[in-house]
Amino acid sequence: MGIRGRDPRPDLLMTAHQDSARETHGNSIHQPVMLDRTVELLAPALERPGAVLVDATLGMAGHARAFLARFPDLVLVGIDRDPDALAIAGERLAAFSGRIHLVHAVYDELAAVLDELGIAAVSGILFDLGVSSLQLDRAERGFSYSKDAPLDMRMDKTSPLTAERILAEYSEAELRRIFWSYGEEKLAPRYARRIVERREASRLVRSAQLVELIEAATPAAARRTGHPAKRVFQALRIEVNQELAVLERAIPAAIDAIELGGRIVVLAYQSLEDRIVKQVFAAGAASTAPSGLPVELPEHRPVLRLLVRGAEKAGAEELAANPRSAPVRLRAVERVRRAA
């Protein structure tokens, strides 16, 4: 096993996080979403000799561990931007150390990661998008509006941009844009204006301060549709981690990386992510032949085949056992044609 990436120092990735890794081994904290369905969809590609699976959002390795146990010859490339997650995954996957490569990177760096490892093409790729259980359950990371914490929200704590910096430095127009674009927040102008007014007196540094400001700025009628801070926190998290921009680069890179017959499964948890995945997959599964062409030439045939109709949701049994699976939307494709 190796841990590679932007900061591979063992003191950062292992020693400093061993206690937290031990605390989060239990399934009560880490329960992989739609695990059986994910295994079922990727299995035809992973049963081949020499199969390589990329878990592009490794997290605490719940999915990865199941795949390694199910396919005894499988090689795993696990990518994550969170050093804490990599430390935990390293311990959870210790029994498979001869078949794994753990890499500290963002998943749009997929091509560079594979190139560094000398892997030309892979059999399967899994994306389990959004904020992880580890990040949500660590109050000090600042992802949750229900727990007071510093306004951080970085998935990679070595990155410079935090939610606090955004709230302190972005213009009112920029704040309005991210609240609307990434949170689909109808009250974006009101919230942006109140934040700018507030920071003239003092900087927002904790999540409870932001929640209090949003609650005070929200009309009573608007509070009936859920917690008023939910969409603002989502928007800030997406901006801090550049999640949508990363995803827009990562899905085409994944399609380029899989071999003929290789498969990709994506688990998305909000509509903005799912829309990107849907559009890229749909384009790859469509013919590029000009309208009216009597015969479809081989170079115009679809590159992908859709493996599920629309987006699949978690079943009732999983919802009861794992409430965090409620918003998930699963999409999957198979590569059916090589690039021209």
Short-list 127, 137, 191, 132, CA closest to 332: 127
Residue 78 labelled as part of a binding site = no
Angle at which helix 207-217 crosses helix 188-199, to 10 degrees, equals 130
Instruction: Give the SS3 label for residue 129.
Output: coil
Cα–Cα dist 222/31, whole Å = 33
- Residue 128 annotated as binding? yes
Round to the nearest angstrom and report the end-to-end CA distance of the chain: 35
Q: Is 61 annotated as belonging to a binding site?
A: yes
135 labelled ligand-binding:
yes
* Cα dihedral 61, 66, 72, 75 sign: negative
How does DSSP classify residue 53? Answer: E
182 is in an annotated binding site: no
CA distances, 168 to each of 139, 163, 171, 208, 331 (Å): 21, 9, 9, 16, 38
- What's the token pair of residue 280? 């890229």
Residue numbering of the annotated binding site: 61-63, 80, 107, 128, 135
Residue numbering of the annotated binding site for S-adenosyl-L-methionine: 61-63, 80, 107, 128, 135
